[in-house]
Amino acid sequence: MSSTPLIGSETDVTPAVLGAMAAAPDARLRAVMESAVRHLHAFLLETRPSEEEFEAALRWIAALGHHTDEANNEVVLAADVLGASTLIDLINNDGMQGETMSALLGPFYRGAAPECANGESIARSPTPGAQLHFSGRVTDVDGRPIAGAKLDVWQASPAGFYENQDPEQADFNLRGVFHTDKDGRFAFRSVRPAGYPVPTGGPVGALLRAQRRRPMRPAHIHFIVSAKGYKTLVTQIFCDEPAALADDVVFGAKQQIAADFVPHHAASARHPGMEPPFFTCEYDFVLKPGPSTYPVPPISGKRS
Ligand SMILES: [Fe+2]
């Protein structure tokens, strides 16, 4: 028999729920859920939603699930546009040991991208846009090269879509996995990314419209850089104007990970096969010691 008293007024609810959860044997679960309930109840008591507003809020949350499938993750998108993903990123990655700044994973990481040789292109079907040569090194915080580091790369096409959203693009277009050589070097070819709108056909889009928010992300390329014994780096390298960086709907752009994308207006012997005008970017990633974990992909497939 529970000793929880019967509810008599709104002030009775929070202690009753906390009491009901107090016997959870997992201390972390107990602490997190106690805090969540305290904040949730305080939020409801502060905003005092009507019954219609509460029903609408529950429908919005349910719609996040209904709009999530193998090619779209509306739940991750909601966490992103509410700033939760960037806050989690900053709580867990402060950049204070000289490592490259991280950025949110986003909803479009598929995993299982094809393994590529250094220098290969990740454009797997005709992709409009200026060619890009991206290269650099992966080092530790003391500048020593990390050989065999894995770089998982993905980006949207200049048309503004990831391949999983776009039937015009080949499977795994603009996605690939590379490994550094003995000197920690890597290189790949692609197209210069462009800014794009996040998907607006679901409940997140409805919220953005109601808030008069632009759904845009500045141009960027996603990276997961990992090596045994080093904290896995999830980040994005940005190539856009300052105004676009400051107008990121998911609050992911950081100055430390904005890079120079250098235009070339003539053919170059250093970059054979690149058709002018093309761009080059050199960027070095720095990993700090830590666990070599790997994120679970928010999506797994391509919209047919
Ligand atoms: Fe992205």
Is the same domain home to 30 and 133? no
Is the same domain home to 44 and 70? no
Is the same domain home to 72 and 109? yes
- Asked if the structure places residue 5 within a domain, the reply is no
Query: Could you tell me the CATH number of the domain that includes residue 122?
Result: 2.60.130.10
Tokens for 122? Answer: 């990740």
Q: How far is the CA of 106 from the centre of ligand 1 (A)?
A: 6
State which residues have CB under 5 angstroms from ligand 1, the bound ion. Answer: 106
Is the same domain home to 15 and 72? no
- Asked if the structure places residue 298 within a domain, the reply is no
Is the same domain home to 159 and 93? yes
Is the same domain home to 152 and 277? yes
Is the same domain home to 119 and 193? yes
Tokens for 243? Answer: 């105004």
Q: How far is the CA of 108 from the centre of ligand 1 (A)?
A: 7
Q: Which of 239, 212, 232, 234 is nearest to 223 (CA)?
A: 234
> 275: domain range?
66-287
Is the same domain home to 102 and 42? no
- Asked if the structure places residue 55 within a domain, the reply is no
Q: How far is the CA of 107 from the centre of ligand 1 (A)?
A: 8
Total structural domains in the chain? Answer: 2
Is the same domain home to 135 and 22? no
Rounded Cα–Cα distance for residues 225 and 214 (Å):
30
Q: How far is the CA of 222 from the centre of ligand 1 (A)?
A: 6
Is the same domain home to 236 and 279? yes
Q: How far is the CA of 20 from the centre of ligand 1 (A)?
A: 42
Is the same domain home to 21 and 96? no
Q: How far is the CA of 221 from the centre of ligand 1 (A)?
A: 7
Q: How far is the CA of 291 from the centre of ligand 1 (A)?
A: 25
Is the same domain home to 190 and 244? yes
Q: How far is the CA of 218 from the centre of ligand 1 (A)?
A: 9
Tokens for 214? Answer: 């632009």
User: What pLDDT tens digit does each residue of the chain (304 aa) get?
Assistant: 455 569 999 999 999 999 999 999 999 999 999 999 999 999 999 999 999 999 999 999 999 999 999 999 999 999 999 999 999 999 999 889 999 999 999 999 999 999 999 999 999 999 999 999 999 999 999 999 999 999 999 999 999 999 999 999 999 999 999 999 999 999 999 999 999 999 999 999 999 999 999 999 999 999 999 999 999 999 999 999 999 999 999 999 999 999 999 999 999 888 988 989 999 999 999 999 999 999 999 999 876 6
- Asked if the structure places residue 303 within a domain, the reply is no
- Asked if the structure places residue 1 within a domain, the reply is no
Rounded Cα–Cα distance for residues 250 and 268 (Å):
37
Q: Which of 243, 237, 157 is nearest to 193 (CA)?
A: 157
